[in-house]
Amino acid sequence: MSKKEKAGKILMLPVSQIEPSPYQARTAFDDTEIAALAVSILQNGLLQPVTVRKIGMHRYQLIAGERRLRACRLAKLEKIPAILSSYDDSESAALGLLENLQRSQLDPFDTARGIREVIRLWDCTQAEAARRLGLSQPALANKLRLLALTPAQQQLCTAGGLTERHARAALRLPESRRTAALEKMARDKMSVREADRLVDTMLAAPKDAPGPCRRTMPMVGDVRLFVNTLQHAVDLMTQKGIQAVTSCDQTDGYLEYTVRIPLSPAPPVPDTTEACHAPEMPEEIHV
C-alpha cells in the first residue's frame, strides 16, 4: 500500500474497481430496500462510506457496505467514498458479519453460516468466537445447530416465514420427521409455542409401530418425503383417537399406499352380558 493510500484514509473510488466480499454472510437482499436506498443516495449522497481493502494495483475488495454498494450501482454512480483498511481475511470476514448482525436482521441460517466461516478463519473454539463476536457461548452454539437442518429444510423455514426458534423446535425431532413438522408449522402459521407443542406430540407418539413404508422399501427421495408426510398425518389422527391404519404394497413398479379411516368413533368396550355389534366398516382411500 503506497503512502498516498494509507489505512484509514477516505478515497473516492470508481465503483467498477470494488469487488464484493467473498465472506458476505447475507445471501438474500431486498430489492425494494436497495431501490429506496438508491433514491436516498441520489438525493442526499452516500452519507457513510463503504469499507474496502486493496487487493491489486487498481482493485479493491469490499469489507463492509454491501447494501450501500449495490444501491450506488443501481443509482449508476461512477465514484463513491470508501475507507481504506489493511484487514486480513479473518478480520474482513468478522467485520462483515458484525456489520450485518448490528445493522439488519440476517436470515438465521445466513448468520449461522457466517459464524461458521469466521470460526474457520480464526481457527478458534466456539467459546473464543462467542467472546469476540459479543455473543454468549450457548447463543452461538444454538445458532450453529441450525445448520443441522438440510438445505431443503432451511429453505422451507425461510419461505414459510419460520423463525430461529421454530427451526430449533424441529431439531428436537429425528431428521426424517423434521420436514413434515416444518411444513405443518408453516402451513398452519404456528406460533413458537404451538410449534413446541406439535414437536412434543410427535415425540410422544409410539415408536414401536412404524408405518408400513418406513421399512426398507427402496424409494427415490421425493417419493419417500411424500410417504413420510402421509404417515405423519396418520400419526396425528391416531394421537387424536382416530383409529386410522395404513398398508403399503409395491407391485408392477407402483407403490400403493392405503389409509383406512373409520367413519364413526370406535365403539365402547361392550358389556360381557350383551351381544357385541360389529363396528361400521372403514372407508378405504388409495393414494
- The catalytic residue positions are 66
* Spatial separation of the C-alpha atoms in residues 167 and 173, rounded to whole Å: 11
- Cell 469476540 belongs to residue: 132
* Spatial separation of the C-alpha atoms in residues 46 and 49, rounded to whole Å: 7
> Terminal CA-to-CA distance of the chain, rounded, Å?
68
Strand-strand pairing, 245-251 and 254-261 = antiparallel
What does the chain come to in residues?
Answer: 287
* Spatial separation of the C-alpha atoms in residues 56 and 59, rounded to whole Å: 5
| Contact status, residue 160 vs residue 154, Cβ threshold 8 Å | no
Torsion angle defined by CA atoms of residues 169, 174, 178 and 184, in that order, rounded to the nearest 10 degrees: -80
The vertex-212 CA angle with 209 and 215, nearest 5°, equals 90
- Give me the phi and psi of 245, to 5 degrees please: -130, 155
| Contact status, residue 282 vs residue 264, Cβ threshold 8 Å | no
